[in-house]
A and B are shown apart, each in its own frame.
Chain A
C-alpha cells in the first residue's frame, strides 16, 4: 500500500517552511488579510467554481500576495455562478458574479491590489451569508 510517498520528505519540507514562517514573523494576523470566499455549492461547482478557486489560489501564491481564499456555500445567486465574496478588512464585503478565470485575474489586479472595484458586482440588497 502506498501511503505518503515519503513522510521524511514532508518532514524535511515542514522544517524548511517553518523557518520561512518564522523569518516572515507571521503571527495570527488573519483579521488584517483580504478574504475571498468562493461559493462552492452544486450551482457554483457546475459553473466552474473549482477552476475559479484554483486560479485565485495559484495566482495569489505566484504573485506572493497573502489573501485568505476559502470556500463557502450557495449565496443564492445561482444564475450568476461562479460567485465570490471579497472582503477587504474594514470595508463592506463585495460579491462578484460570473467570475471565470479572466474575471478572477481582473479582480486580483484591480480590487485586491489597488482596492478598485470592477464590473460584475451583484446585488443591491446583499446583507450577509447565512450558511
Chain B
C-alpha cells in the first residue's frame, strides 16, 4: 500500500464484509508523543478467538476466492516497521476493533495520502453502512457522522453527484483546517 488512506480503505472492507451497520474510523496525530494512531471499529459479525488468532496470518482468509489475506498483516507490518504496534480485538456477534499505532516521525511511516478520496468512496457508495469519522491533531478535531448527514438529506441519496461534491469540499476544508505539516 502506498499510503495510510489506502490501508484504511482496505481494512474498512473487512468491516463491510462482516456486515457492519456502523463503522468508526478514528485518526489521532500526536507528534509530541511521536504517535499516529488509526483505529477502525465495527459492529459486524466479529470473530471467534480461533479466527482472531489467525486473522493476522497472511495465509489465512475467510474468503473462498483466494488463499491469502494480506490486508491486516500488511497494516501490522507497516505499523511495526515504524516502531509502532498493532492490536486487534474482536468478539463474535459484537464486532471488531483494529488499532495501529505508527511512529509518527519515523522515516518509514507512509504518508496519509488521499484521505478525502477514501472517505468519499466509502460514504458515497450505494447501500453503504454508516460511518463516524474522527480526526484529531494538535490543531483541532473534525468529526462527521453519516447518520446526521443522511438525516439532513432525507430522501436525497448520498450518491447524488451534487451531494458528493458538497461532501468533498466540506471534508477538504475541515481536514485542511486541522492539518499539521507532514
Q: Which residues of A contact B (CB under 8 A)?
A: 1-5, 7, 9-11, 13-14, 16-18, 20-21, 40-43, 45-46, 50, 53-54, 57, 61, 68, 70-71, 73-76, 78, 130-131
How far is it, in angstroms, between the C-alpha of A110 and the C-alpha of B178 when the chains are bound? 43
Interface-side segment among B80-88, B95-103, B136-144? B136-144
- The answer to whether A3 touches B126, judged by C-beta atoms less than 8 angstroms apart, is no
Q: From B2, which residue of chain A is reached at the shortest CB distance?
A: A46
- The answer to whether A17 touches B160, judged by C-beta atoms less than 8 angstroms apart, is yes
- The answer to whether B161 touches A61, judged by C-beta atoms less than 8 angstroms apart, is yes
Q: From B151, which residue of chain A is reached at the shortest CB distance?
A: A7
Do A45 and B65 contact each other (CB < 8 Å), given the known contacts A2-B177, A17-B160, A50-B121?
A: no
- The answer to whether B154 touches A71, judged by C-beta atoms less than 8 angstroms apart, is no
Interface-side segment among B28-36, B46-54, B66-74? B66-74
- The answer to whether A131 touches B118, judged by C-beta atoms less than 8 angstroms apart, is no
How far is it, in angstroms, between the C-alpha of A7 and the C-alpha of B117 when the chains are bound? 21
Contacts of B155 in A (CB 8 A): 18
How far is it, in angstroms, between the C-alpha of A14 and the C-alpha of B148 when the chains are bound? 13
- The answer to whether A74 touches B153, judged by C-beta atoms less than 8 angstroms apart, is no
Do A45 and B121 contact each other (CB < 8 Å), given the known contacts A7-B152, A74-B65?
A: no
- The answer to whether A16 touches B140, judged by C-beta atoms less than 8 angstroms apart, is no
Ordered by A's residue number, 14 sampled pairs between the chains whose C-beta atoms are within 8 Å are A1-B140, A2-B141, A3-B148, A4-B144, A7-B152, A40-B9, A40-B121, A41-B13, A46-B1, A50-B117, A57-B164, A73-B63, A75-B65, A130-B65
- Count of residues in B whose CB is under 8 Å from the partner chain: 46
- The answer to whether A40 touches B13, judged by C-beta atoms less than 8 angstroms apart, is yes
Interface-side segment among B37-45, B104-112, B166-174? B166-174
Contact of B156 among A17, A42, A54 (CB under 8 A): A17
Q: Is B163 an interface residue (CB 8 A)?
A: yes
How far is it, in angstroms, between the C-alpha of A9 and the C-alpha of B117 when the chains are bound? 21
Interface centre among A3, A42, A50 (most CB of B within 10 A): A42
Contact of B71 among A16, A42, A61, A130 (CB under 8 A): A42
Q: Is the interface of A mostly helix, strand, loop or mixed?
A: helix
Contacts of B161 in A (CB 8 A): 61
How far is it, in angstroms, between the C-alpha of A74 and the C-alpha of B21 when the chains are bound? 21
- The answer to whether B9 touches A45, judged by C-beta atoms less than 8 angstroms apart, is yes
Q: Is B182 an interface residue (CB 8 A)?
A: no
Contacts of A54 in B (CB 8 A): 117, 120-121
Q: From B65, which residue of chain A is reached at the shortest CB distance?
A: A76
Q: Is B10 an interface residue (CB 8 A)?
A: yes
Expressed in whole angstroms, the minimum distance between the Cβ of A111 and any Cβ of chain B is: 20
Do A42 and B174 contact each other (CB < 8 Å), given the known contacts A2-B140, A17-B163, A18-B155?
A: no
